[in-house]
Amino acid sequence: MKIPFEPVVFGYAINIHLILEYLAFFIAFRYYVVLRRRSKDAISNNNRLSIILGAALGALFGSRLIGVLENPIIEFSQQNIIQLLNTKTIMGGLFGGLLGVELAKKIIGEQQSSGDLFVFPIIAGIFIGRIGCFLLGINEFTYGEVTSSVFGMDLGDGLLRHPTSLYELVFLVILFFILKWIQNNSVLKNGELFKIFMLLYFGFRFFIEFLKPNVFYVFGLSTIQLLCVICWLYYSKFILQKTVNAS
């Protein structure tokens, strides 16, 4: 199979990444619905809908904002405006969704933690989306730097690059089973599984960014890496509590 993978159906080129992106949203939501039916959710239906709305709006805003900051547009033109409207990143979506949920819960007065039910659907959604990123090769800005290692792949420009999307797919599978093991073998407070997921995933993304050809840095770090640091600071109280309890 040639990368970028651009299948042609009835004479029309299919954007495989876009299709997998929509599929990711659909499967992740259906997975969430199944998990909620099987669990004893302490949050009412109305409040849960408000939380989902807050997550969606926060994710929409956050994904666009971080996407723009990752590749800031200097010259304003029609092409750049179109690029601005289409630029997004899952990292901004996750952190923006987190803030959107917290804001929604404050507005409706919900005290219960709400994130645990989202953990495994989010992993499933990211996994499907990353397959699309890999299939687009250099046409999707998730590819890695040129490398001479055995892992190098031609992603469409004739150069051997780190297939960072594949690295992430492997990590997501491992993360899924680690979190399942933690869920089944540890006594966690409501909401702690989501916090562990965020810390581990953002930690992975911090280090994998060093293998990508980022072009915009602040303090030697990319925008995504700075967001990872912010996420860890956001959960610093939780990290400290777990560290103290483990010692």
Asked if 110 and 183 sit in the same domain, the reply is no
What pLDDT shows up at residue 74? Answer: 54
Asked if 181 and 241 sit in the same domain, the reply is yes
Final residue belonging to a domain, choices 88, 114, 140? 114
Asked if 90 and 119 sit in the same domain, the reply is no
pLDDT band with cut points at 50, 70 and 90 for residue 65: confident
Asked if 176 and 245 sit in the same domain, the reply is yes
* Residue pLDDT, tens place only, 111-157: 777 788 899 999 999 999 999 989 888 887 788 899 999 999 999 88
What pLDDT shows up at residue 87? Answer: 66
- Give domain status of residue 25, yes or no: no
Asked if 142 and 245 sit in the same domain, the reply is yes
Asked if 241 and 120 sit in the same domain, the reply is yes
- Give domain status of residue 22, yes or no: no
Asked if 197 and 207 sit in the same domain, the reply is yes
- Give domain status of residue 218, yes or no: yes
pLDDT band with cut points at 50, 70 and 90 for residue 26: very high
- Give domain status of residue 20, yes or no: no
* Residue pLDDT, tens place only, 88-116: 788 989 999 999 988 998 898 887 777 88
Task: Look at 190 and 215; give whichever has higher pLDDT.
Answer: 190
- Give domain status of residue 13, yes or no: no
Share of the chain above pLDDT 90, in %: 43
Asked if 102 and 143 sit in the same domain, the reply is no
Asked if 48 and 71 sit in the same domain, the reply is yes
Asked if 91 and 130 sit in the same domain, the reply is no
Asked if 156 and 192 sit in the same domain, the reply is yes
Total domains, the chain: 2
Share of the chain above pLDDT 70, in %: 91
pTM over 0.75: yes
- Give domain status of residue 12, yes or no: no
Final residue belonging to a domain, choices 114, 147, 163? 114
- Give domain status of residue 140, yes or no: yes
88/62 Cα distance (integer angstroms): 8
- Give domain status of residue 81, yes or no: yes
Q: Residue 43's domain spans which residues?
A: 39-114
Asked if 120 and 104 sit in the same domain, the reply is no
